[in-house]
Amino acid sequence: MLDAFQSLRQALATLIAFCVKVEKEVDAAFAKEAITFSKEGKGGNKEYCEMWMNTSVEKFERYVRSVPGMESIIDDDAKSTMEVFPLLRRCRPAIWDIYTAAKRAKYSINQRKKLGGTTAAKEDEADNCNKKFPTDAKLTPGVYNLLCPHVVCYGFRVLTKAQSVEYGISIVLERFPKLPTTNYYDMACKMNRNIMRRVRPLFRFHCVRCFMDRPHGKGHTCSLCNFADAALKHTLEKASTAAESSHSIAIRFRPMLAYMKPQSFLNFKTFQVATAILRAIFKTTSLAEKKENDHVNFNSFFWDKVQGVCVIKGCSCSVPPPA
């Protein structure tokens, strides 16, 4: 079609040229701000992106041992961190953003005008979404679950404050040496903007894209690039509602969890996640079985998976074989 229609070639070339112009302007703006903040000691995002572009669990462990006092800060004990990621060991520290953590200034239209009215600034203003995070003073902050498209939960973090895109960005950075290229989040528009302003070079190096799952796309006024249906090359035949499925199960336990102590909550949530994982693995490996498994006896299946070893961290007991 490009060979046959000159007008289509010109239109496509114009679009690509516009995208390249915006990319250059944003790259220049990020580099300028990052260098300024680094010199003033207000943040180390530039250094963070350069240092942790390529990483591994071993590299992070060497880093922790080399920095005085770092071992006392990095803690993987579930009781103190209130997070459980048994198969994802840390490979990066949390984002260095001292200034933003201390003072969160609104990125207003007046501030965009100070940038000189660039094409990138105009695009950023037009892409700002009006939809906000739901808030309710009667509810606890909640739990952030990390799942794969097969609805297998990699782990979870109990939130200590209201939901924020920072949790999603932090977990992905801390736990994945090679970042997942396709991510679903109910407020992906805000996550994309936060990533662009804080760790843009690192996420672009790994070709990361964030999309809203289809049920949560309703009511958003942002760019189509944040919607799963507008990027079928990345999202086609991929379950975009895996996390929502997990949430719909966990929400049934909300009344009893509200009265639990933190440690009891952690134990109960861990058990609930483990049961859900077992069901998900059963569905993906036992194709001949019925998908509805509410009344399936999992004893034999569980025994085959754990090979007689208790999966609870720190426990040395053995699992008895099924009768």
Per-residue pLDDT tens over the stretch 231-253 = 888 887 777 777 677 767 767 77
Between CA 301 and CA 281 the distance in angstroms is 10
> Does pLDDT of 79 surpass 50?
yes
Between CA 48 and CA 94 the distance in angstroms is 10
The pLDDT-based confidence of 291 (bands split at 50, 70, 90) is: low
Between CA 201 and CA 31 the distance in angstroms is 10
The pLDDT-based confidence of 219 (bands split at 50, 70, 90) is: confident
More confident residue, 250 or 156: 156
Mean pLDDT of the chain: 76
> Does pLDDT of 96 surpass 60?
no
Report pTM. Answer: 0.74
Could you read off the pLDDT of 163-190 as tens digits, one per residue?
677 888 888 999 999 999 888 888 888 8
Backbone angles phi, psi at 156, to 5 degrees: -150, 160
Which pLDDT belongs to residue 279? 78
> Does pLDDT of 162 surpass 80?
no
* Packed helices 119-126 and 6-40: angle between N→C axes, nearest 10 degrees: 90
Which pLDDT belongs to residue 9? 94
Q: Name the burial class of residue 217, with classes exposed (0-12), middle (13-18) and buried (19+) by CB atoms within 10 angstroms of its CB.
A: buried
Which pLDDT belongs to residue 110? 52
DSSP secondary structure, 97-151, as one string: -HHHHH------HHHHHHTTS-HHHHHHHHT---------TTS---EEEEE-TTS
> Does pLDDT of 37 surpass 50?
yes
Strands 83-84 and 153-158: antiparallel
Interior angle at CA 137, CA 134 and CA 140, nearest 5: 85
> Does pLDDT of 276 surpass 90?
no
Question: Which range has the worst mean pLDDT, 43-57, 128-142, 213-227, 244-258?
Answer: 128-142
